[in-house]
Structure 1
């Protein structure tokens, strides 16, 4: 595989106001001029590792075998955290991809299984000709490594094998026969509030009963298939494209209108018996 065939995705908290993203791409193109870039996002909230992981999980499983994912959300840049590269499988995929980024838990959050192979990027003479800045490892460490990997350099040649990586875990919802309790883990551009409550967990306990969704001070009676199933500005609960419960407002911003943010508790309560009444939405 040549660099012409390789896709490199970029996920950062750099924004687009400054020249940081361009500097990373320039450093890579200097080594692998035919690499293809895909910007996942550069709008991750500053230093928000879990926010970066959520967005990456939304996207990376749709890319082909051999895609390289550069994830640079790095609160510990210049500190003791290690730089890594790893072969891994995205969630629900048997394709093998490569991650390049800091050892701060990001890798553990974007895959459900241990990496196939991981190396610590401690062999700079193999992929860098200049001294690395202590404040811009994205440009001076991660970009050169990714570009050499895109050019066909084996993973084993850019670092030393390791079995240990920093680990973070997604918090799981709590479920019983009365309902499921979780919280908002991501607010998207439209203000839709995505929770950590997957459809499978709800289906396993629901037993055909109707539901009420309690999100902050808002109560939503019943679930809908899409946002457009309710009238304009009405709150709605759906299972979104991620497969998890979302709280939204049709043609409105749920985060703003309902005062919901990341970390807000959301509880889905099963009714004691199915109801046939017209669906109601209450806002406290």
Structure 2
């Protein structure tokens, strides 16, 4: 029988026993489960980043994988706990608070169910209302992955269109200018990851070696403006120079060769962080 996978994501960090407890609950359901970490370093309460990291990862796991994502500032409130089935036949166990935004938009969600906590809750945990990651999500996810319950036994069906979604802005192109958002950081290296797909550059004839005028704004306040080369890799720029590149999700990124672009210019992420790109006329790098 093929080993089933449970993948955990939280904003808990690893400095205490919370994540270990979730692992233990999953393995207590079925010790043959493969329990893995996506990340536990989501900034505290940052639902947007939790949503993006799922999008960054989900497509690279086998069908049937169960993801448990717990970024839950509303724990103990009336927010719903759900399990969704993606278009690629995977499952995500999570609070319904916006964590599914990128999956719904980019992967597709075909079905949703509300967790019935009368059935799918760790035994003897009924008086605990602050650790649903252990008592509800890890327990339900493990039971689903192990085949202890079917998807239908998670709980009642829920309309996909009613799932909470965060505002998403699509990249656009008008009057020779590509406009998008800075969606996330490549945290360790300080690179900016935008929502501008490589296909947009192809459509408008931007090629490797082109010099591009890049402007970054936060709430319409100019933060950065410069001419940057569009390169295939960091080898196309000198040490300390900025470069535009295609990241691992086929989106346009902005970096400094062996430096942190985000730290250098104090750049953050989210709907208020806009980037615009246009060809710098008369300049092309070999």
TM class by shorter-chain length? 0.7 to 0.9
Is residue 118 of structure 1 aligned with residue 118 of structure 2?
no
Match of 2:195 in 1: 196
Deviations 1:133-182 (A, max 9, x none): 21110011111101110121201112111113222242212321321112
- TM-score normalised by the chain length of structure 1: 0.88
- Residue 155 of structure 2 corresponds to which residue in structure 1? 159
Contact 1:68 1:97 in 2 (8 A): yes
Partner residue in 1 for 2:219: none
CA change 1:231–1:207 in 2 (3 A) is closer
Structure 2 residue aligned with 1:36: 34
CA contact (8 A) 2:169 2:181 kept: no
Measured after TM superposition, the shift of residue 9 of structure 1 is: 0.8
Which digits, 9 at most, give the CA deviation of each residue in 1:73-106, with x for residues without a partner? 11111101000012112xxxxx310111101121
The answer for the alignment partner of 1:282 in structure 2 is: none
- Give the alignment's TM-score, normalised by structure 2: 0.87
Given the alignment, which residue of 134, 139, 144 partners 2:139? Answer: 144
For residues 231 and 224 of structure 1, the distance between their equivalents in structure 2, rounded to whole angstroms, comes to 11
Distance 1:193 1:149 in 2: 36
SS in 1 for 2:144: helix
Moved more, 54-63 or 218-227: 218-227
Q: 1:137 to 1:23 in 2, by over 3 A?
A: same
Task: Give ranges in structure 1 of 5+ residues lacking alignment.
Answer: 90-94, 280-284
Post-superposition shift, 1:210?
A: 5.4
| Cα offset, 1:122, TM superposition | 2.0
- Give distance in 2, aligned partners of 1:13 and 1:77: 13
- Aligned-residue CA RMSD in angstroms? 2.0
Q: Which of 130, 146, 149 is the matching residue for 2:124?
A: 130
Structure 2 residue runs without a partner (length 5+): 217-222
Query: Shift in Å at residue 21 of structure 1?
Result: 0.4
Equivalent position of 1:270 in the other structure: 279
- Select between 162-171 and 228-237 the one with higher mean Cα deviation: 162-171
- The equivalent of 1:92 in structure 2 is none
Query: What is the distance in 2 between the residues matched to 1:5 and 1:242?
Result: 27
237, 242, 254: which one aligns with 2:244? 237
Determine the C-alpha separation between the residues in 1 that align with 2:55 and 2:278.
28
CA shift in 2, pair 1:275/1:235, >3 Å: closer
Counterpart secondary structure, 2:196: strand
From the two aligned structures, give the one with the greater strand fraction: 2
Give the secondary structure class of the aligned counterpart of 2:104. Answer: coil
CA contact (8 A) 2:144 2:151 kept: yes
Answer whether contact 1:87 1:99 (CA < 8 A) is retained. Answer: yes
